[in-house]
Amino acid sequence: MIYKRSSALFTEAEKVIPGGVNSPVRAFKGVGGTPIFVKEAKGAYLYDEDGNRLIDYINSWGPMILGHAFEPVVNAVVEKAKKGTSFGMPTETETQIAELAVSMVPNIDKIRFVNSGTEACMSAIRLARGYTGKDKIIKFAGCYHGHSDSFLIQAGSGASTFGTPNSPGVTQGTAKDTLLANYNDIENVKALIEANRGEIACIIVEPVAGNMGCIPPKENFLSHLRQLCDDNEILLVFDEVMTGFRLAKGGAQELYNIDADIVCFGKVIGGGLPVGAFAARNEIMNHLAPLGPVYQAGTLSGNPLAMAAGLAMLTVLNSDNGVFERLAEKTEYLHKGIHKVLNDNNVNHTINRVGSMISVHFDEGEVFDFTTSAKGNNDTFKTFFHGMLKEGVYIAPSAFETWFITDALTFSDLDFTINAVNKVAKQL
């Protein structure tokens, strides 16, 4: 494929945008080469500025669960835009989508809409601290909760060591209140709680990790977290920005039958527009201003375009009883097909899958946390990425990102993808 137009556009972008992109992973730093500039998209396909068609497996990092330019969402946004794009005042649509979301998700009474997953997680942590009166939080290595200061922390040494910032601009004062645990390691969490008894406001976790590739929770990991939180008066926060309304109507809470105290949403809940949200039981949410002392605000929060898009998306997901089964079936089909051709070509790999999230790790060992994810052969992934791109298949330009399956994919698309993997595997 030829990417002259994309290359020229990237050169122009670098002059006025840091790194030429508005989100770092788009820059192809992890795989090399020049980013693809998209002109339009429809269904399961991207169309770039050079006229190439690509089967899309990132789907705007998750929200396009029913495909690009999904007609009910597009129509809702167009009709709403004709009546005004932003008011900074309440609208009926906000209440309608809130009522629908609360009805779909277990264990929540109220929901507050914001503008991104980062904002949702940042606000949830503030609410947890305000509700409990405690300052420290536990997060897990490899789990990404947005770029708020509290989350840009890497491991120290030892179970009770404070985290250290892994981005300039994050202060030591912020870092000292963030404790880092190993995903799927309940004993590590217990040690952190014991070393900081009475000081931890919440544990925040991706119930299915998506930012070190797709990594499922081990059996009983989430239930043990729930019990630890109950025993130590700690709030359990599920970051369901990726999993919410994707793995089931009620997200990971429904899938694993685990009740979190606060749940964060994004991606699907906005139908492709910039939206995030956080939700909880009444006694927690009532601590938010204007009812309570925990302040959170935003001029564009609940803006009419985003609310219309999200309402249209959730309405379809709520009424289509077979959508999550179809998504899981397609993802399983893809999993089995890729696994077979990689095996046939003697390529070391592990494939993780939950519902419509899937990733290929180029290491034959079990992948269950950030350390094991990092063992994958990145040179192999780079060759794989560019090979798939040449064949007309677009996957995440990073070995540490899950793929997202859309219902718009046909089995012919999946067969095309599996055949592409077979071609590329001969180069690995």
Give the integer Cα–Cα distance in Å for 27 and 25. Answer: 5
Catalytic entry in 144, 183, 256, 394: 144
Residue 134 annotated as catalytic:
no
Half-sphere exposure of 207 (CA within 13 A, CB side): 34
Q: Estimate to the nearest angstrom the gap between the alpha carbon of 368 and the chain centroid.
A: 17
Q: Is 232 helix (H, G, I), strand (E, B) or coil?
A: coil
Minimal CA–CA distance to 342: which of 421, 406, 267, 420?
Answer: 421
Angle made by CA atoms 250, 253, 258, in degrees to the nearest 5: 150
Catalytic residue among 80, 134, 139, 267: 267
In the set 56, 239, 261, 407, the catalytic residue is: 239
93's CB contacts (< 8 A; 6+ apart) are 80, 304, 307, 308, 311
Backbone angles phi, psi at 32, to 5 degrees: 80, 160
C-alpha–C-alpha distance, residues 113 and 122, integer Å:
13
Active site residue 239: yes
Looking at residue 111, what DSSP letter applies? E
* 144 and 116 Cβ atoms separated by less than 8 Å: no
Report which of 307, 269, 271 is spatially closest to residue 86, judged by C-alpha positions: 307
Is-catalytic flag, 249?
no
Long-range pairs of 123-126 with CB within 8 A, sequence gap ≥ 24: 123/278, 123/296, 124/202, 124/204, 124/237, 124/262, 124/264, 124/278, 125/150, 125/201, 125/202, 125/204, 125/237, 126/294, 126/296
Residues in the chain: 428
Euclidean distance between the first and final Cα of the chain, in Å?
Answer: 20
Q: Catalytic positions, please?
A: 144, 239, 267
